Protein backbone atom coordinates (compact mmCIF):
# COMPACT_ATOMS: atom_id res chain seq x y z
CA UNK A 1 0.00 0.00 0.00
CA UNK A 2 1.52 3.35 -0.95
CA UNK A 3 2.18 5.78 1.85
CA UNK A 4 0.47 9.17 1.88
CA UNK A 5 3.11 10.59 4.20
CA UNK A 6 4.42 13.23 1.81
CA UNK A 7 1.01 14.39 0.60
CA UNK A 8 -1.07 14.59 3.75
CA UNK A 9 1.58 14.69 6.44
CA UNK A 10 0.07 11.75 8.31
CA UNK A 11 0.99 8.14 7.71
CA UNK A 12 -2.01 5.83 7.64
CA UNK A 13 -1.88 3.11 10.27
CA UNK A 14 -4.00 0.62 8.33
CA UNK A 15 -1.13 -1.74 7.70
CA UNK A 16 -0.26 -1.86 11.42
CA UNK A 17 -3.60 -3.44 12.37
CA UNK A 18 -3.58 -6.18 9.75
CA UNK A 19 -2.04 -9.51 10.76
CA UNK A 20 1.42 -10.19 9.42
CA UNK A 21 1.79 -13.10 7.04
CA UNK A 22 3.42 -16.06 8.76
CA UNK A 23 6.24 -17.94 7.09
CA UNK A 24 7.52 -21.39 8.09
CA UNK A 25 10.72 -19.80 9.43
CA UNK A 26 8.83 -17.38 11.68
CA UNK A 27 6.61 -20.19 12.99
CA UNK A 28 9.68 -22.31 13.85
CA UNK A 29 10.98 -19.42 15.93
CA UNK A 30 7.78 -19.49 18.01
CA UNK A 31 8.66 -22.98 19.35
CA UNK A 32 5.21 -24.43 18.71
CA UNK A 33 6.59 -27.98 18.71
CA UNK A 34 7.54 -27.77 22.39
CA UNK A 35 4.00 -26.69 23.25
CA UNK A 36 2.52 -29.76 21.56
CA UNK A 37 5.10 -32.07 23.17
CA UNK A 38 4.11 -30.86 26.64
CA UNK A 39 0.42 -31.14 25.71
CA UNK A 40 0.94 -34.76 24.65
CA UNK A 41 2.03 -35.63 28.21
CA UNK A 42 -1.09 -34.03 29.70
CA UNK A 43 -3.27 -35.59 26.99
CA UNK A 44 -3.04 -39.15 28.38
CA UNK A 45 -6.04 -38.84 30.71
CA UNK A 46 -8.29 -37.95 27.75
CA UNK A 47 -8.72 -41.64 26.89
CA UNK A 48 -11.66 -42.05 29.28
CA UNK A 49 -13.79 -39.69 27.15
CA UNK A 50 -15.82 -40.70 24.09
CA UNK A 51 -14.37 -38.11 21.76
CA UNK A 52 -11.56 -35.56 21.60
CA UNK A 53 -12.82 -32.24 20.32
CA UNK A 54 -10.53 -29.46 19.02
CA UNK A 55 -12.26 -26.12 19.63
CA UNK A 56 -11.18 -22.54 19.07
CA UNK A 57 -12.16 -19.91 21.65
CA UNK A 58 -12.12 -16.12 21.64
CA UNK A 59 -14.03 -13.09 22.88
CA UNK A 60 -15.45 -10.20 20.90
CA UNK A 61 -16.97 -6.89 21.94
CA UNK A 62 -20.07 -5.40 20.35
CA UNK A 63 -21.35 -1.99 21.31
CA UNK A 64 -22.75 1.38 20.46
CA UNK A 65 -21.82 4.95 21.20
CA UNK A 66 -24.51 7.53 20.58
CA UNK A 67 -23.84 10.53 18.37
CA UNK A 68 -23.91 14.07 19.72
CA UNK A 69 -27.03 16.12 19.04
CA UNK A 70 -26.98 18.80 16.33
CA UNK A 71 -29.19 21.75 15.48
CA UNK A 72 -29.30 25.00 13.49
CA UNK A 73 -28.52 28.26 15.30
CA UNK A 74 -27.83 31.87 14.32
CA UNK A 75 -24.20 32.65 13.59
CA UNK A 76 -22.27 33.56 16.74
CA UNK A 77 -24.76 31.86 19.09
CA UNK A 78 -23.68 28.65 20.79
CA UNK A 79 -26.79 26.45 21.10
CA UNK A 80 -27.48 24.08 23.97
CA UNK A 81 -28.70 20.76 22.63
CA UNK A 82 -30.12 18.16 24.99
CA UNK A 83 -28.87 14.71 24.12
CA UNK A 84 -28.27 11.42 25.85
CA UNK A 85 -24.74 10.14 25.65
CA UNK A 86 -24.99 6.36 25.57
CA UNK A 87 -22.18 3.85 25.71
CA UNK A 88 -23.29 0.25 25.80
CA UNK A 89 -21.16 -2.77 25.21
CA UNK A 90 -21.80 -6.50 25.27
CA UNK A 91 -19.11 -9.11 25.04
CA UNK A 92 -19.50 -12.53 23.52
CA UNK A 93 -17.42 -15.55 24.46
CA UNK A 94 -17.43 -18.18 21.77
CA UNK A 95 -16.06 -21.63 21.17
CA UNK A 96 -16.26 -23.29 17.75
CA UNK A 97 -15.34 -26.78 16.61
CA UNK A 98 -13.90 -26.08 13.16
CA UNK A 99 -14.40 -29.70 12.03
CA UNK A 100 -18.08 -30.22 12.91
CA UNK A 101 -19.27 -26.61 13.15
CA UNK A 102 -20.72 -27.14 16.62
CA UNK A 103 -20.38 -24.09 18.81
CA UNK A 104 -20.99 -22.54 22.20
CA UNK A 105 -21.61 -18.82 22.77
CA UNK A 106 -22.11 -16.80 25.95
CA UNK A 107 -23.16 -13.14 25.99
CA UNK A 108 -21.42 -11.46 28.91
CA UNK A 109 -21.13 -8.10 30.60
CA UNK A 110 -17.34 -7.95 30.47
CA UNK A 111 -14.07 -9.68 29.69
CA UNK A 112 -12.55 -10.97 32.91
CA UNK A 113 -11.79 -14.16 34.82
CA UNK A 114 -15.28 -14.40 36.31
CA UNK A 115 -16.93 -14.47 32.89
CA UNK A 116 -14.25 -16.82 31.54
CA UNK A 117 -15.09 -19.25 34.35
CA UNK A 118 -18.76 -19.07 33.31
CA UNK A 119 -17.80 -19.75 29.70
CA UNK A 120 -15.65 -22.77 30.61
CA UNK A 121 -18.36 -24.17 32.88
CA UNK A 122 -21.00 -23.80 30.15
CA UNK A 123 -18.72 -25.34 27.52
CA UNK A 124 -17.95 -28.29 29.80
CA UNK A 125 -21.67 -28.82 30.50
CA UNK A 126 -22.58 -28.69 26.80
CA UNK A 127 -20.04 -31.39 25.89
CA UNK A 128 -19.73 -33.48 29.10
CA UNK A 129 -18.63 -36.71 27.37
CA UNK A 130 -15.95 -35.06 25.22
CA UNK A 131 -12.38 -34.09 26.01
CA UNK A 132 -11.95 -30.53 24.69
CA UNK A 133 -8.64 -29.09 23.57
CA UNK A 134 -9.39 -25.36 23.63
CA UNK A 135 -7.14 -23.25 21.39
CA UNK A 136 -7.08 -19.61 22.46
CA UNK A 137 -5.05 -16.42 22.49
CA UNK A 138 -2.93 -15.12 25.37
CA UNK A 139 -5.44 -12.81 27.06
CA UNK A 140 -4.76 -12.08 30.73
CA UNK A 141 -7.95 -13.76 31.98
CA UNK A 142 -7.02 -16.99 30.11
CA UNK A 143 -4.00 -17.42 32.40
CA UNK A 144 -5.40 -16.11 35.69
CA UNK A 145 -4.68 -18.01 38.91
CA UNK A 146 -8.35 -17.87 39.88
CA UNK A 147 -9.44 -19.54 36.63
CA UNK A 148 -11.33 -22.79 37.30
CA UNK A 149 -10.57 -25.24 34.49
CA UNK A 150 -13.04 -28.15 34.21
CA UNK A 151 -11.62 -31.70 34.15
CA UNK A 152 -12.54 -32.27 30.49
CA UNK A 153 -10.91 -29.10 29.08
CA UNK A 154 -7.27 -28.61 28.15
CA UNK A 155 -5.79 -25.30 26.96
CA UNK A 156 -3.50 -24.75 23.97
CA UNK A 157 -2.33 -21.19 23.38
CA UNK A 158 -1.59 -19.71 19.97
CA UNK A 159 1.51 -17.54 19.64
CA UNK A 160 1.10 -13.81 20.37
CA UNK A 161 -0.07 -11.52 17.56
CA UNK A 162 -1.30 -14.34 15.31
CA UNK A 163 -5.10 -13.98 15.12
CA UNK A 164 -5.07 -15.67 11.71
CA UNK A 165 -4.34 -18.97 13.51
CA UNK A 166 -7.72 -18.79 15.29
CA UNK A 167 -10.66 -19.58 12.93
CA UNK A 168 -13.23 -18.04 15.29
CA UNK A 169 -11.94 -14.61 14.22
CA UNK A 170 -13.74 -15.25 10.91
CA UNK A 171 -16.95 -15.91 12.85
CA UNK A 172 -16.66 -12.53 14.62
CA UNK A 173 -16.03 -10.77 11.29
CA UNK A 174 -19.16 -12.36 9.81
CA UNK A 175 -21.28 -11.46 12.85
CA UNK A 176 -20.11 -7.85 12.66
CA UNK A 177 -20.89 -7.78 8.96
CA UNK A 178 -24.36 -9.34 9.17
CA UNK A 179 -25.56 -9.22 12.76
CA UNK A 180 -26.47 -6.43 15.15
CA UNK A 181 -27.64 -4.18 12.31
CA UNK A 182 -30.50 -3.00 14.45
CA UNK A 183 -29.78 -1.62 17.90
CA UNK A 184 -32.85 -3.37 19.30
CA UNK A 185 -31.17 -6.74 18.84
CA UNK A 186 -28.12 -5.51 20.78
CA UNK A 187 -30.17 -3.93 23.57
CA UNK A 188 -32.41 -7.00 23.92
CA UNK A 189 -29.31 -9.16 24.43
CA UNK A 190 -28.74 -7.50 27.84
CA UNK A 191 -28.95 -9.67 30.91
Does residue 175 lie within any of the structural domains? yes
* Higher local confidence (pLDDT), 30 or 175: 175
Mean per-residue pLDDT, 151-179: 87
Q: Please state whether the predicted TM-score (pTM) of the whole model is above 0.75.
A: no
* Higher local confidence (pLDDT), 29 or 50: 50
* Higher local confidence (pLDDT), 141 or 26: 141
Does residue 56 lie within any of the structural domains? yes
Per the structure, how many domains does the chain have? 1
Long-range contacts of 121-127 (CB under 8 A, 24+ apart): 121/148, 121/150, 123/55, 123/57, 123/95, 123/150, 123/153, 124/150, 124/151, 124/152, 124/153, 127/53, 127/152
Mean pLDDT computed over every residue of the chain? 77
Give the pLDDT confidence of 24-47 residue by residue, as tens digits: 666 555 555 555 555 566 666 666
Domain span at residue 164 reads: 48-63+90-187
Amino acid sequence: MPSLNGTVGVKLALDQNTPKKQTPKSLKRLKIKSTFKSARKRFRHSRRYQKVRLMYQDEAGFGRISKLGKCWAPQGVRPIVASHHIREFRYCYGGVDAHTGQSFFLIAGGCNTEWMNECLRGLSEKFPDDYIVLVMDNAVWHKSRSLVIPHNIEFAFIPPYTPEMNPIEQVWAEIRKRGFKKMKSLISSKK
